[in-house]
Amino acid sequence: MTENKKILDVKDLRVHFFTDEGVVKAIDGVDMHVESGKTLCLVGESGCGKSVTCRAFLGIVQPPGRIVSGDILFYHDDEVINIAKLPPKGKKVRSIRGKEISMIFQEPMTSLSPMYTVGNQIIENITLHTELSKEEARERAIHLLDQVKIPNPGRLVDEYPFRLSGGMRQRAMIAMALSCNPNMLIADEPTTALDVTTQAQILDLMLALQDEYGMALLFITHDLGVVAEIADEVAVMYLGKIVERADADTVFNSPKHPYTQALLRSIPKIAMKREELDPIKGMVPNPFRRPDGCNFNPRCPYAMNVCRERVPGISHINANHTVSCWLYEQDTVEEKAGA
Ligand code: SF4
């Protein structure tokens, strides 16, 4: 295991989408950091901005979206690189993407081409980012396929992705993501489409590889069962903002933000009757018509007048636990409503 150190520090990140209907503030002032050797789970309902946040880290936000302000500081050797300020198609960000920071997706065919064999795609990534020859890269590809527990990797290396099962494709994508020993792996709902058994196997595999490689793992999910299994720390996101962050035990046992509390209450439990389910009331607001004040106020059982008028700042419950809610004493300067 390597010593934990900060490898990504995100400050007041804002990503907006400029559409004909108006501007969607998909990411609206996110602060977060990621440490090597640790697993941070980014959780929240669909559409709250989790995936866009992580795409911004790799400079792959799709138009009409773009980073409008903020910093994404990536600590690499003795260098600090601000990814938010790099041209998205520039050489520098391309040298980071796939080498220093890799990403795996829910759907493996997002990153695996059906036109080339699994081996060719891994070999291409290795030769693009390292000095290894094609032969050496092929050896490494077979080794990686073996590491992700693909049976008979010497044969599978020459197979096309569509010939593999969903679970095997996911393993091949993980092998490709690990091919250049990344410092950080971003996993965007990588097990959501898999059956429960395969899901458990893939999660175990990812944690074992993280331990071996000492990399940071940023895991995006809406599944709190997965979070409970793998997270060291949890960041809860709602409508483009991190509303609570703490270690996993604290989030599960002593959540402070009403949205986190509602998420936890909504988890179905074994032997629970249908009428006992407690889903979060209301819907995520239309991104073009955000409420004034706290984004969660139309759904919050504790909403006060101030919540409908002013955006809460950050409160430190303790050194490792932050929450953005008017129920707690504010220790940062508040933002203006609608800012
Ligand atoms: Fe609820 Fe107010 Fe806290 Fe928002 S700021 S979560 S509306 S209590």
Within a domain: 322 = yes
CB 34 within 8 A of CB 7: yes
If one compares 106 and 309, the residue with the highest pLDDT of the two is 309
Written as six digits, the tokens of 271 are 């032997």
Tokens 């009428």 found at: 275
How many independent structural domains does the chain possess?
A: 2
Q: 181, 196, 220: which is the final residue of a domain?
A: 181
pLDDT(333) > 60:
no
Given the DSSP bridges, would you call strands 321-323 and 315-318 parallel, antiparallel or unpaired? Answer: antiparallel
Length of the chain: 339
pLDDT digits (tens, 9 = 90+) for 146-200: 999 999 999 999 999 999 998 899 899 999 999 998 999 999 988 887 788 888 8
CA atoms within 13 A on the CB side of 284: 15
Give the model's pLDDT for residue 46. Answer: 85
Q: Greatest CA span in the chain, whole angstroms?
A: 67
For residues 17 and 283, the model is more confident at: 17
Q: Which of 162, 181, 200 is the last residue of a domain?
A: 181
Q: Is the CB of 324 inside a 6 Å radius of any atom of ligand 1?
A: no
Identify whether 270 is part of a domain: yes
Asked, for residue 230, whether it belongs to a domain, the answer is no
Higher pLDDT, 48 or 335: 48
User: What spacing in Å lies between the alpha carbon of 211 and ligand 1's midpoint?
Assistant: 38
Are 236 and 44 spatial neighbours (Cβ–Cβ below 8 Å)? yes
pTM, 2 dp: 0.90
Residue 265 belongs to some domain of the structure: yes
Q: Which two tokens stand for residue 223?
A: 């599944």
Task: Return the H-helix or E-strand segment holding 103.
Answer: strand 101-104
| Number of other CB atoms surrounding residue 257 within 10 Å | 26
| Position 20 in a domain | no
Residue nearest to atom 7 of ligand 1 (CA): 297
Structural element, H or E, at residue 15: strand 6-19
190 is a domain residue? no
Contact (CB, 8 A) for 215 and 185? yes
Task: Tell the residue nearest (CA) to atom 5 of ligand 1.
Answer: 325
Angle of helix 134-147 relative to helix 166-177, nearest 10 degrees, comes to 130
Tell me, in angstroms, the distance from the centre of ligand 1 to residue 300's CA.
6
Residue 201 resides in a domain: no
Residues 219-241: what's their mean pLDDT? Answer: 94
3-state secondary structure of 229: helix
Residue 315 lies in a domain: yes
Domain final residue, candidates 181, 196, 230: 181
18 lines ligand 1 (CB under 6 A): no
Atom of ligand 1 nearest to the CA of 303: 7
Q: Which domain holds residue 155?
A: 113-181
Is ligand 1 within 6 A of the CB of residue 302? Answer: yes
Quote the ligand 1 centre to 275 CA distance (angstroms): 27
Q: What is the mean pLDDT of residues 71-78?
A: 92
Q: Is the pLDDT of residue 257 over 90?
A: yes
The confidence score (pLDDT) of residue 98 equals 87
Q: Residue 285 Cα, ligand 1 centroid: separation in angstroms? A: 15
Burial of residue 252 (number of CB atoms within 10 Å: 0-12, 13-18, 19+): middle
pLDDT category, 339, cuts 50, 70, 90?
very low
Tell me if 88 sits within 8 A of 61, measured CB to CB.
yes
- Residue 186's DSSP bridge partners are 103, 218
